Structure 1
C-alpha cells in the first residue's frame, strides 16, 4: 500500500487565484477524485427517495417536490458543477469561493436565505499511513441541505442508513437536524481517529519502556504530527458550534437547540482527549530521553568498574615490566605465579566490594 500525501499546514495560493475579484470560485487544494458525483435524498416522515448518482436535472426536479432535500456533492474541483448549483440554490459568490477553497478555516456564516458551515473531516487509515484531513462544506437552507466534499469517500453512511430505515428522529425534525447529524458524524470520527492514535501510542509506550531504541523516536514524532492535524481540525470547530448555539437564525429550530449544545460538549471532549494525548506524548518523549540517559549511565558504570578493576592490575604489571637490573622478585622461582595470584585476589576483592556496595 502507498502512503497518502499529507496535506501541508499552509496551502500556497495558486497563480490563478491571485488578483481575482472577490467571490470568484477557484479550486484550492489537492485534486482527490477524477469525476464529481451527486447523491440525492428527498424524504419526509413517511417516504424517502434516493438517486445515486444524480444529475443536475434530478436536483432541479427534486426542488419542486415536497419533502426535505439533501444533495451530497463529491469532488469540489468541478467549478462548472459548483456554479450551476450556486445558481440553482441562489448561493452567494463568496460562499462558492469558500467551498472551493479546501484550506479554509472552519466557520459558520449566515446569509438571508441560508447558513454556511465549513469544517474538516478526519480519517485515520491505519498505523503508518497517517491522518487524512478533508474539507467539508454544508449549506443549511429552508427545506434543503447541501454538503460538499473533496473526495467520494465520507463519514455520512450512518446518516444515510438512518434516513433509509426511518430510524430515530432524523426524518421528522427538519433540515437543521440533518445538518446537525452530518456534523455529529464528523465529530464522532474525531473520536475514532484519536482512539486509534491512542491505541498505537500505548503500544509504542510499552515498546519504548522495554527497549529504548533510537529508531523509535521517529514513531513518536509521527504520532505528534497526527495529533497536530486533528487539533487543527477540532480547535476552531468549538467556536463554530458555539456561534451556531448563539445564532438567532430562523433556520435553527428551538426544539433542536439541545442537540447543538450536546455537539458542543462532544467537541470540547475531543479537544480534551487531544490535549491529554499530546501531554502523554510529551511525557513519553521525556521518558525516552531519560531511558537513553539511563542506558548510557549503565554502560558507563560497567566500563568504569572494569577500568577500576584493571587499574591495580595494570599498576603491578607496569612495575614488573620495568627493565631495572636489580629487582629481587625477578629472580624468584615462583614469582610469576605469586604475582598472578596477587592480581587475582585483588580483582576478586574489588568485585566483592562492588557487589556489597550494590554497584553491580
Structure 2
C-alpha cells in the first residue's frame, strides 16, 4: 500500500489521487509511506526518490551499521517500533526511514498507530510539516509519545497489582476473588510488553543520537535541536522501563512467595490433622481386632473407655499444637 503526501501551498496534503498505479507521483511529494508495498509501488517510489529502498531482509539486520548509514544519495535509518501494545501479542517491527532528494520514504510491514494518527490529522486539518525532516520529526514524536503512553498504562496496572499483592489479609475488598493463575499471566504479559518497549526505545535512542550528531550528513539545525530534546525524553523513558522491569520482578517474586506460603500452610494443616488423628485411629484399630483372648472384651465399661481414650488422644495433641502456636 502506497500513501502519498505532497506540499500544497503552506499545508501538507494527502494526495490520494496519486496513489493509483497509472497516476504519476507529484513533484511536490514530501512523504511516501509504503506499507507492505507491491513491486509496482516500490518501483514507483524508487523512481521518484532516485535510490534503491531497503528490502525486508535489509530492514531485519541487527547491526547498527546496517540500521544507520549514510550513502552519497540518501540517509537510511531503521528503528524497531512497538505495535499491537493493546493486545495479548505485542510486537516490535522494523520501520525504515529514508531521506533522499528532499523527500522522506517510510517502509514497514505493520502500520504503527502513530503513523495512522498522523495520516488522520493530515486528512482532517492538513499538516504543518512541509519538509521531509519535519515529517520525520513528527512521526518519531508520535512513536515516542505512543511508547510513553504504553509505559504509563503499564505502570498504573503494576501499581494496582502491587497494592493487591501487598495488602495482605488485613484489608480484604468486598467481592474480590483472587486468581493466582490469572495474576501470574498478567505479570508475565506485562513484563513481556515492557521488554518489547525497552528494545524499541534502545533503537530510537541510537537513531536520535545519529540525528543529533549528524555524522556523515548535515541535517537542519532545527532537526538537530529537536533530536537532542527527543533524545532526553527517550533516555528518561528507557530508565522508566528499567524501573518497571524491577517492579515486575518484585511483584513476581512476591506472588510466587505468597503462593508458596499458602501451599506450606495447607501442608502444615494436613500434617497436623494426620498427627492428631493417628492416636485415636491406633486405639480404634487395637480394640477393633476380633481375637478371642482380649481382656477388655468382657469389660462392662470397655466401650465408653475406648471412646474416651480416642477423644483424649486426639485432644492432647491439639492442645500441644495450640500452645506451640502451630495452629
TM-score exceeds 0.5: yes
Partners in 2 of 1:117 and 1:73 — Cα distance?
15
Q: CA deviation at 1:302?
A: 0.6
Task: Report if aligned partners of 1:156, 1:182 keep a CA contact under 8 Å in 2.
Answer: yes
Equivalence for 2:293: 325
Matches within 5 A, 1:43-192: 43=8, 46-52=10-16, 54-55=18-19, 60-63=25-28, 69-76=30-37, 78-91=38-51, 93=52, 96-98=53-55, 101-105=58-62, 107-124=67-84, 126-127=86-87, 129-151=88-110, 154-160=113-119, 161=121, 165=125, 170-171=128-129, 174-192=131-149
> Aligned to 1:351, which of 310, 318, 324?
318
Partners in 1 of 2:93 and 2:17 — Cα distance?
21
Partners in 2 of 1:138 and 1:43 — Cα distance?
22
Partners in 2 of 1:151 and 1:59 — Cα distance?
26
Partners in 2 of 1:171 and 1:348 — Cα distance?
84
1:246 aligns with 2:197: no
Secondary structure at 1:359's aligned position in 2?
Answer: coil
Task: Report if aligned partners of 2:198, 2:238 keep a CA contact under 8 Å in 1.
Answer: yes
Task: Report if aligned partners of 1:43, 1:69 keep a CA contact under 8 Å in 2.
Answer: no
Task: Report if aligned partners of 1:102, 1:134 keep a CA contact under 8 Å in 2.
Answer: no
Equivalence for 2:223: 256
Q: CA deviation at 1:166?
A: 7.0
Deviations 1:224-260 (A, max 9, x none): 4333333333323322221222215664122432210
Task: Report if aligned partners of 1:117, 1:139 keep a CA contact under 8 Å in 2.
Answer: yes
Q: Unpaired runs of 5+ in structure 2?
A: 167-176
Equivalence for 1:194: 151
Partners in 1 of 2:204 and 2:197 — Cα distance?
11
Given the superposition, is the C-alpha separation of residues 254 and 148 from structure 1 closer, same or farther in structure 2, using an over 3 Å criterion? same
Partners in 2 of 1:134 and 1:206 — Cα distance?
34
Q: CA deviation at 1:288?
A: 3.4
Q: CA deviation at 1:220?
A: 4.0
Given the superposition, is the C-alpha separation of residues 49 and 162 from structure 1 closer, same or farther in structure 2, using an over 3 Å criterion? closer
Aligned length: 311
Secondary structure at 2:114's aligned position in 1?
Answer: coil
Provide the TM-score with structure 2 as the length reference: 0.78
Q: CA deviation at 1:269?
A: 2.5
Secondary structure at 1:325's aligned position in 2?
Answer: coil
Q: CA deviation at 1:208?
A: 6.8
Partners in 2 of 1:86 and 1:102 — Cα distance?
16
Q: Unpaired runs of 5+ in structure 1?
A: 1-35
Given the superposition, is the C-alpha separation of residues 125 and 237 from structure 1 closer, same or farther in structure 2, using an over 3 Å criterion? closer
Task: Report if aligned partners of 2:214, 2:224 keep a CA contact under 8 Å in 1.
Answer: no
Partners in 2 of 1:79 and 1:101 — Cα distance?
16
Partners in 1 of 2:112 and 2:24 — Cα distance?
21
Equivalence for 2:170: none
Task: Report if aligned partners of 1:122, 1:193 keep a CA contact under 8 Å in 2.
Answer: no
| Greater helix content | 2
